Amino acid sequence: MPGDVILCVCGGGSGAHALAGLAVQKGVEVRVLTLFEDEAKKWNRVLQKEELTVIINENNRPPREVKAKPKMVTKDPEEAIPECDVIIFTVPASVHEIYFKAIAKHIGKRTLIVGLPGQAGFEFQCRDILGEKASLISIMSFETLPWECRLREFGKHVEIMGTKMYLSGSLIRGKSVTKPPLMTLQKFLGAQPMLRQSKHFLETIIMCYSFVHPVIFYGKWKDWDGKAVTEAPLFYHGIDEATAELLQKCSDECMAVAAAILEAAPTKANLSDVKDIHHWYMENYKNEITEADNLFHSITTNKAYEGLTHPMTESSVGVAPDFSSKYLTEDIPMGMVVFRGLAEVMEVPVPYTDMVIEWCQEKMGKEYLVGGKLTGKDIQSTRCPQRYGFTTLDAILTGEKST
């Protein structure tokens, strides 16, 4: 099947290079659309001389090398998008809006649009910008990238350090027929990660646990005196028990919102698979966790987190927490605030989520939550449902705006 599929990879970073290289190797016609600065020009210059090399590191096997040449690399949506069966966004969520707006009028009604990763609110933004067309196309949103990967040399060389075992994504099937979504994507990626479809798109929004990074920031720096420190503390392995308790409380709030939605719309929003964060850790990191008896140990004995430190800024006197890190700038507006929006619609109080958002927004110099409502001046830069006029559960589920 890949031979008769046209894929457009949107982006020009590490993930876009890895995806483009792997999909070309599977026999797919790959077009790359990158709107950023002169990335398309730079990539084309390289392609004239040599193919893209993807180095794939796999457990217990020597690294593999794949060479690939995408059919087209362009910054022109009119050239890249028409005839595409699948369009995959592989850029940070803060950039999705630029891509949606640029490609909207060129998308065919049988297209599958994929956020890899999508992050919370991907579907709301897609429906808002594409309007009527959003009900025809199919939309998938995955929880993260399939790989840990780094671009070593632009257009030339990307390295995959690790590949996930499983990857969950949600599907909103459009009215028009598309190629079988999950099967098509699986063929682009190969056997691993094994793709799984979640039962409902709200499950992916709730279970991306976007509170994890902000809560760890809060736990570490809430009493910080503002003075530089000598070194970056460990991020996951450096949490204390109080931080683990706060993570649990935020997870409990996610469960409460999921339960309220399930109760209000049992046949329309199957959220029966939404899991508590401790269970999620035990399932997803079962081979990496040494002590899984509670959430604190599941994080602090998780080998996948070894050596990872807080993002810091450097100065002549030491280092300080970097509040402009994507752990906050992505996970608050494209994560916690979106979840907070769902809670507001369901009228479920989420005081711990609020406390963390309020602290983070102050550190980021932003204003989302004001007096317990999502009415802050920066709400337009988030993807909460309210921003798009989805202010009832029905509007959230159907994509038809509340009147």
- Binding region for ligand NAI (CB under 6 A): 11-16, 34-36, 39, 90-93, 95, 98, 117, 144-145, 148-149, 151, 326
CA distance 89 to 399: 20
Nearest distance, CB of residue 176 and ligand NAI, angstroms: 28
- What's the half-sphere exposure (Cβ side, CA atoms, 13 Å) at 15? 18
Residue 164 or 278: which CB sits closer to ligand NAI?
164
d(CA 9, CA 32): 5
Residue with tokens 């991306």: 208
Please state the closest distance from residue 148 (CB atom) to ligand NAI, in A: 4
Q: How far is the CB of 162 from ligand NAI (least distance, A)?
A: 9
- Quote the CA–CA distance of 13 and 93 in Å, as a whole number: 13
Q: Which is nearer to ligand NAI, 296 or 327 (CB)?
A: 327
Tokens of 12: 């020009």
Q: Nearest approach, Cβ of 135 to ligand NAI (angstroms)?
A: 26
Q: What residues form DSSP beta bridges with 117?
A: none
**DSSP at 304:** G
- Please say if 213 is a catalytic residue: yes
Reported as type and span, the H/E element at residue 187 is: helix 181-189
Structure tokens at 177: 């027929």
C-beta of 102: minimal distance to ligand NAI in Å? 9
Q: State residue 299 phi and psi, 5-degree precision.
A: -90, -45
> Please, are residues 210 and 253 in contact by the beta-carbon 8 Å criterion?
no
As given in the structure block, the two tokens for residue 307 are: 């050596």
Which residue in the list 213, 237, 278, 310 is annotated as catalytic?
A: 213
C-beta of 27 vs 162, nearer to ligand NAI: 162
- 172 or 334: CB nearest ligand NAI: 334
User: From CA 43, how far away is CA 59, in angstroms rounded?
Assistant: 30
Q: Which residue is nearest to ligand NAI (CB)?
A: 13
Cβ nearer to ligand NAI, comparing 91 with 114: 91
Q: Cβ distance 142 to 113 under 8 Å? A: no
Instruction: Find where tokens 């070593």 sit.
Output: 152
Provide the minimum distance between the beta carbon of 213 and ligand NAI in the complex, in angstroms, as a whole number.
Answer: 11
Q: Which amino acid is at 178?
A: T
Nearer to ligand NAI, 145 or 360 (CB): 145
Catalytic residues: 213
